[in-house]
Amino acid sequence: CFLSLQKREISNFDYLMYLNTLAGRSYNDYMQYPVFPWVLADYHSETLNLTNPHTFRDLSKPMGAQTAERKQKFIQRFNEVEKNLSAQCHYCTHYSSAIIVASYLVRMEPFTQTFCSLQGGSFDVADRMFHSVKSTWESASRDNMSDVRELIPEFFYLPEFLTNANHFELGCMQDGTVLGDVKLPPWADGDPHKFILLHRQALESDYVSAHLHRWIDLIFGHKQHGSAAVEAVNTYHPYFYGDKMDLNNIKDPLIKSTILGFISNFGQIPKQV
């Protein structure tokens, strides 16, 4: 399959779906939903230049290391092992979880009800809802130390999830903005179909094709855990590595229940392929 990718016999999208399937990810499981990368870093330009390397996200680094300042903060956390952490790691949140998936797709059923169920029966505070592609990128790549989320496949083929066609009352933000459709980058001209078209072109671009293997190493490959992950600033709380934990040897039912609940609520590292 990798040779087919190199020969451009299959698309980057198809290859990523193949890897997700091999790693046990499935549309049928919100806790192990297919994970896709942020591929762009430009959500402010009027036109999208796919020949400029600066247009793209650094695929060799996890979301927590997209800026030098943010990377250093996570390295410091790893070295200091803060008192409120139970284990040494860079990240205590995950890049893919049921709540992340449901938050992206909240404007579509059945994800609307799933999101509300995960939130205790109602929508979240409006300012924390997925409302803007640009602000979500800035949160996950720069601003929020609790946010290292990646994307889901729908960002590359499904314009409907970006519109509030069902007219759900999602609330009002502190600045007075009423939540409705997702705010798109200027280069999409307010058109979800154009956003998906250009975003898919970015995924299949020469730049991403040349660098995608580095992201795959982080998520599915040898930089997923161990010393290579430490060097890549890519380690997560041990509970996220569900397949590496021998739950059968944990005798305390409370501890076992806590671990299973942690995995269910906050995400799980894909199986290494």
Q: Is 240 a residue whose pLDDT tops 80?
A: yes
118 versus 21: the higher-pLDDT residue is 21
Taking alpha carbons only, the member of 110, 132, 114, 134 closest to residue 123 is 114
256 versus 88: the higher-pLDDT residue is 88
Q: Where are the domains of the chain?
A: 1-266
DSSP state of 57: -
172 versus 244: the higher-pLDDT residue is 172
pLDDT, mean of residues 64-73: 96
pLDDT, mean of residues 43-70: 97
pLDDT above 90: percentage of residues in the chain: 72
CATH domain 1-266 topology: Neurobeachin; Chain: A, domain 1 (1.10.1540)
153 versus 120: the higher-pLDDT residue is 153
pLDDT value at residue 7: 60
pLDDT value at residue 86: 63
List pLDDT tens digits, range 146-190. Answer: 999 999 999 999 999 999 999 999 999 998 889 999 999 999 999
- Of 84-93, 113-122, 125-134, 221-230, least confident by mean pLDDT is 84-93
Residues 254, 10: Cα–Cα separation, whole Å: 47
Residue 49 CB neighbour total at 10 angstroms: 11
pLDDT, mean of residues 73-100: 84
263 versus 226: the higher-pLDDT residue is 226
253 versus 130: the higher-pLDDT residue is 130
Burial (CB < 10 A; 0-12, 13-18, 19+), residue 253, is: exposed
Q: Is 239 a residue whose pLDDT tops 60?
A: yes
Mean pLDDT of the chain: 90
- Per DSSP, the three-state class of 236 is strand
Q: Is 267 a residue whose pLDDT tops 80?
A: no
Q: Is 3 a residue whose pLDDT tops 60?
A: no
CB 145 within 8 A of CB 92: no
Residue 88 — pLDDT band, cuts 50, 70, 90?
Answer: confident
The upper half-sphere exposure of residue 167, i.e. CA atoms within 13 Å in the direction of its Cβ, equals 0
C-alpha gyration radius of the chain: 19
Q: Is 2 a residue whose pLDDT tops 60?
A: no
Q: Is 205 a residue whose pLDDT tops 80?
A: yes
Residue 232 CB neighbour total at 10 angstroms: 19
pLDDT value at residue 85: 53
pLDDT value at residue 246: 61
Cβ-defined contacts of 132-140 (< 8 Å, 24+)? 132/182, 132/183, 133/43, 133/182, 133/183, 133/184, 133/185, 133/195, 134/43, 134/44, 134/183, 134/185, 135/183, 137/38, 137/40, 137/41, 137/43, 140/38, 140/63
CB 26 within 8 A of CB 34: yes
243 versus 22: the higher-pLDDT residue is 22
